[in-house]
Amino acid sequence: MYDGGKIITGLIIFLAIVTFPFYSNIGKANIKPAPDLDTPAIQELDEKKCIEPTGFMRANHMKLLKQWMDDLQELDKDTYRASDCKVYDSSYDTCMECHVSQQNFCDRCHTYAGVKPYCWECHELD
Amino acid sequence: MEMFVSFCIVVLLAVIAFAGVELVNLQFLFGVIIPYAAFAVFVIGFINRVIQWGRSPVPFHIPTTCGQQKSLPWIKDSKLDNPTGTLGVIGRMALEVFFFRSLFRNLKTGIQNGELKYTGTKWLWLGGLIFHYSFFIVLVRHLRFFTDPVPPFVNYLDILDGYLKTGSPNLLITGWVLLGAVIYLFLRRAFIPGVRYISLTADYFPLFLITGVALSGIIMRYYIKVDIVSVKQLTMGLVTFSPVVPQGIGSIFFIHLFLICVLFAYFPFSKLMHMGGVFLSPTRNLPNNSRIRRHINPWNYDVKVHTYEEYEEEFRDKMKSVGLPVEKE
């Protein structure tokens, strides 16, 4: 190979970059975050259900919250009718009544997924 | 035709992933086996390609000389555009890799008022630069799926990228910019007749593929949401070599992932290899020192040469006797 030294050096740098996710995780276990569902309000529920089905909540809660804010600010609408026809106050307080703690619930997932909602700049949850 | 074929292939790929997951439940294939295979093809193919290039001799000394060459001391030479040493070459390569220097010099030849005119055209340079940088940032942002805990610089990048703070999930600028830039690069190919004429399937296909990746990513982030925690379970499973496929990840994720796998596997066999190739490009990586040092073609036949010194050595007496000037007495 011509200029072998330089080319091999380049290839080693390439390998070091593309395999970063592998060697930086050596010895780590793949632990799923556990948002705390063991709160007094939830224990009192007959049916352990969130506002909408759990799968929907996991993926779409941020859209739901934003929709609540828009409803409130634009339409002056302060209640939300869920798909099972229950009516909730469109407010963060509703979530926190059941989920109580931002740290033990919301943040466990968010830290894991690397999201920092800018919403916290204006809203305080607990 | 080339355009149409490439488009159909990309659509077909998306349909394959969708059908594979929705109809046949091949989550493990699309979520684990294909990603591993694609990554292996990418790494091995990449290294193989570079080594192949390294083994090819460079017969001529062909640096591009885009500025004044080093010459007499009182003539100012252009150190970056026409470097004579290693440092200059590194500088030029950095300009090329980070700022696409040679594309910046792109000229358009035309006739204005009956005269031949060369005017700079920076649109391709600008579009290309934006495309590459936004792609790079999008790629780095994805590290949040492959690290736990997520390193702070990835968080900061997210904050910078989410600077506009609109919507929920927060709007990340580079994703949309990437989509816009790749569409621009496509429109340029499709609508400039000269460029269109020289465009092949191998040119359209990567563009459509990257469009597909960006589009499926955007749809997944903003519209058809998926459970990101489960997605991270899957990606972390891959990088810790303990693959898992959690239940209930939406098909859009598998479409996104499959298109990325195709992109990775296709990479070493395509023009996308310019990522490694730019460093091995003789016009960029050779210093312009052909007047200082002799470049020898590695496959040259071993020609017997008779240098001037040897010539003078041989004929010095005779030269002196007829009054020819000699270098050594």
Render pLDDT for A55-102 as a digit per residue (tens, 0 to 9). Answer: 999 999 999 999 999 999 989 888 999 998 999 999 999 999 999 888
- Give A-chain residues touching B154 at CB under 8 angstroms: 114
Please give, rounded to a whole number of angstroms, the shortest distance from the CA of A119 to a CA of chain B.
Answer: 9
Contact B244 A30 (CB under 8 A): yes
**Paired strand residues for B119:** B108
**Is residue A82 a contact partner of residue A49, using CB atoms and an 8 Å limit?**
no
Residue B315 burial class via C-beta count within 10 angstroms: exposed 0-12, middle 13-18, buried 19 and up: middle
Contact residues on chain A for B42, CB-CB shorter than 8 A: 18
A-B contacts (CB, under 8 Å): 105
Distance from CA of A87 to the nearest CA of B (A): 22
**Residue numbers in A near B252 (CB within 8 A):** none
For residue B248, the chain A residues in CB contact (below 8 A) are 55
User: What is the pLDDT, as a whole number, of residue B107?
Assistant: 86
Helix, strand, or coil (residue B121): coil
Q: Report the distance separating Cα B208 and Cα B3, nearest Å.
A: 9
Q: Is the peptide bond before B149 cis (omega within 30 degrees of 0)?
A: yes
Show residues of chain B in contact with A59, CB under 8 Å: 225-228, 250
Q: For residue B38, list chain A residues with Cβ-Cβ distance below 8 A.
A: none
pTM of the model: 0.92
How far away is chain B from the Cα of A126, in angstroms, using its nearest Cα? 20
Instruction: Select from A8, A28, A30, A118 the residue whose CB has the most chain B CBs within 10 Å, as the one to mutate to test that interface.
Output: A30
Contact A113 B43 (CB under 8 A): no
Q: Which residues of B touch A11 (CB under 8 A)?
A: 47, 50-51
User: Are A21 and B147 in contact (CB < 8 Å)?
Assistant: yes
Residue of A nearest to B52 (CA): A1
Q: What are the structure tokens assigned to B68, written together?
A: 């004044």
Which of B228, B264, B297 is the best mutation test for A, with the most CBs of A within 10 A?
B228
Q: What is the distance between the terminal CA atoms of chain B, rounded to a whole angstrom?
A: 74
CB contact under 8 A, B225 and A3: no
Residues of chain B with Cβ-Cβ distance to A63 below 8 Å are 168-169, 225
Q: Is B194 helix (H, G, I), strand (E, B) or coil?
A: helix
Residue with the bigger pLDDT between B213 and A37: it is B213
Residue B118's beta-bridge partner residues? B109
Cα end-to-end span (Å), chain A: 64
Topology annotation, domain B2-300: Fumarate Reductase Cytochrome B subunit (1.20.950)
- Could you tell me if B54 and B282 are in contact, meaning their C-beta atoms sit under 8 angstroms apart? no
Is A25 close to B57, i.e. CB distance below 8 A?
no
| pLDDT averaged per 10 residues in sequence order, chain B, 329 residues | 93 97 94 97 98 92 89 92 92 95 88 87 93 97 94 95 92 97 96 93 96 97 95 96 93 97 98 96 91 85 87 93 89
Q: Which residue of A has its CA nearest to B222?
A: A63
| Phi-psi label, residue A3: left if phi above 0, alpha if psi -120 to 50, beta otherwise | left
List the structure tokens of B301.
Answer: 């036949």
To the nearest whole angstrom, how far is the Cα of B141 from the nearest Cα of chain A?
10
Distance from CA of B199 to the nearest CA of A (A): 30
Confidence at A126, pLDDT banded by 50, 70, 90:
low
CA distances from A64 to A69, A99, A108, A121, B221 (A): 9, 16, 19, 18, 14
Spans of all domains in chain A: 1-31, 33-121
